[in-house]
Amino acid sequence: MVKLVIFGPPGSGKGTYASRLKERLNVEVISTGDIFREMIKTGTSLGESVREYVEKGLLVPDEITFNVLKENLAKIPKGKGFILDGYPRTVWQAQALDRIAKIDAVIHLIVPDWIIVKRLSSRRICQNCGAIYNLLFLKPKNDMICDKCGGPLYQRSDDTPEVVRKRIEVYEKQTQPLLAYYRDKNVPFVEVKCEKLETPPEVIVEEILAGLKKLNLA
């Protein structure tokens, strides 16, 4: 039962890699970003509050995020591990997580800014099932139609270059202390670099699995 955290700038491929690792490692994936987007769709007062932060490229407050995470961790079948995508985002969140789960390893994706901006402006997501595509190297078989469920694809409002750069800036500022936090606690790191725009997701997934195998976690 492996418990992992995946770190990487917005657009680094966290969601794509985590969804593929889910099958290979037999774990659940909890993406706080996806959960927040679902909350926004519901139109509740909490969802509207979350919307204000997300649309500005800002982080949702720690307490809200942690409570949402706890609720979703409780739904995981007993004896099954997980990959956290988008959590923790602050040292406070990491400390709160430590109280309820022991992280076995950190997957750290290292991607240049120019690749991220290019990728995100080409990203499309299925409105129905949430499958992720990219018009550069992970195209759907039919234009703007999901291969898996036939739902329509759309571009997220926060995938514009201006908001992307703001998100990268926020990510870098918040993540450096987090990486230091986990290193200080001697949590093992699996670091994977992506320096070419056209690198297929399968290549990165295999590199991550190879790193986990060295740690006897895959």
55-93: b or e for each residue (b if 16 or more CB lie within 10 Å)? eebebbebebbbebbeebbeeeeeeebbbbbbbbbbeeb
- Taking only the tens place, the pLDDT of each residue in 114-149 is 999 988 888 899 999 989 898 887 899 999 999 999
What integer best gives the mean pLDDT of the chain?
Answer: 91
Active-site hit among 20, 119, 124, 167: 167
Report DSSP letters for the chain, one per residue. Answer: --EEEEE--TTSSHHHHHHHHHHHHTEEEEEHHHHHHHHHHHT-HHHHHHHHHHHTTPPPPHHHHHHHHHHHHTTSPTT-EEEEES---SHHHHHHHHTT----EEEEEE--HHHHHHHHHTEEEETTT--EEETTTB--SBTTB-TTT-PBEE--GGGSHHHHHHHHHHHHHHHHHHHHHHHHTT--EEEEE---TT--HHHHHHHHHHHHHHTT--
The active-site residue, picked from 37, 89, 119, 124, is: 89
Q: Which of 20, 37, 119, 123 is catalytic?
A: 123
Catalytic hit among 3, 156, 165, 166:
156
Task: Name the pLDDT band for 40 (thresholds 50, 70, 90).
Answer: confident
User: Domain-by-domain residue ranges, the chain?
Assistant: 3-214
104-120 burial code (b ≥16 CB/10 A, e <16): bbbbbbebeeebbbbbb
Average pLDDT over residues 72-97: 93
* CA distances, 118 to each of 5, 33, 57, 185 (Å): 25, 20, 18, 35
Question: What CATH number labels 3-214?
Answer: 3.40.50.300
What are the tens digits of pLDDT across the range 85-121? 989 988 999 999 999 999 999 999 999 999 999 888 8
User: Does pLDDT of 54 surpass 90?
Assistant: no
Determine whether 141 is an active site residue: no
* pLDDT for residue 34 is more than 90: no
* Active-site choice (14, 20, 119, 124): 14
Q: How confident is the model at residue 159, as a pLDDT?
A: 87
**Residue 167 appears among annotated catalytic residues:** yes
Q: What is the pLDDT of residue 179?
A: 96
Q: Is 99 a catalytic residue?
A: no
